[in-house]
Amino acid sequence: MDNLLGLTTPAPLSLSTLAINLLLSILLSTVLAWFYTQYGRSLSNRTRFAQTLPVLALTTVLVISIVKSSLALSLGLVGALSIVRFRTAIKEPEELIYLFIAIAIGLGLGADQRLPTVLALLIILLYLFARTLVTPRLPRNNLYLNVLTPSSDHSFAQINHVLLKHVQSADLRRLDRSDSSLQATYLIDCRSDDALGALMDDLAVQIPGCECSFVEQNDTIGG
């Protein structure tokens, strides 16, 4: 009876349609990645994060294209996704927004809704661009940087050396040292988000095991 109703027998998948959807997904997700790199406001390394968006969109297109032809596969996908857990938390809300947009691109193209997907993406990007014009980003010249590193004879000097390469000025506000760790807090003058991303990457390379966090002074009580 199930076979008669077509519930368990997948419909044939057109390879040409799949190829067109995948190619269009590459185009749209690449535009999305470029837009995020240029106009995003996340403190993380936007270029590195943007590289994951096309892969996410392509994977979503493939999954939706396969499961849409069979109810049994769709139910199996629900069960499989219920056990998936992300071990790395998304700390930036903006990153989560762009992840959802990439997934939406994959869902729309996987369902063969090409024109609505393109139109929706254009409207979303136009809205985000207009929002950046109305609310220009503030200069990143009033950030608190907190650095926690394993304690060594040269930890403090290494932190200062890396800071001087990426920021205009760094004012030490607090320094704590124990037998196992060193923690330093600076008020830094940094002119761009790209410089912040480069600073974080350089700290991770030059000081293994380093942990750093940024707090904007305008968002603190009394800041």
Q: pLDDT tens digit string along 60-84?
A: 888 888 777 665 556 555 555 554 5
Query: What's residue 17's pLDDT?
Result: 87
pLDDT digits (tens, 9 = 90+) for 156-188: 888 888 888 888 888 888 888 888 888 888 888
- pLDDT class for 215, splitting at 50, 70, 90? confident
41-44, Cβ contacts within 8 angstroms, sequence gap of 24 or more: 41/94, 41/137, 41/193, 42/92, 42/94, 42/95, 42/193, 43/92, 43/193, 43/196, 43/197, 43/200, 43/214, 44/91, 44/92, 44/95, 44/197, 44/200
In tens, the pLDDT along 99-140 reads 899 999 998 988 889 999 999 999 999 999 998 888 766 555
Of the listed ranges 15-19, 30-34, 39-43, 127-131, the one predicted with least confidence: 39-43
Q: pLDDT band for 29, please (50, 70, 90 cuts).
A: very high
DSSP secondary structure letters along the chain? -HHHHTSSSPPPPPHHHHHHHHHHHHHHHHHHHHHHHHH---SS-HHHHHTHHHHHHHHHHHHHHHHTT-HHHHHHHHHHHTT---SS----HHHHHHHHHHHHHHHHHHTT-HHHHHHHHHHHHHHHHHHHHHSPPPPS-SEEEEEEEE--TTHHHHHHHHHHHH-SEEEEEEEEE-SSEEEEEEEEE---HHHHHHHHHHHHHHSTT-EEEEEEGGGSTT-
Cα radius of gyration (the chain)? 23
Q: What percent of the chain has pLDDT over 70?
A: 75
Write the CA distances from 98 to 28, 29, 187, integer angstroms: 12, 10, 30
pLDDT range class, residue 24, cuts 50, 70, 90: very high
Read off the pTM.
0.58
With a cut of 80, say whether residue 191 has pLDDT above it: no
Average pLDDT over residues 33-47: 80
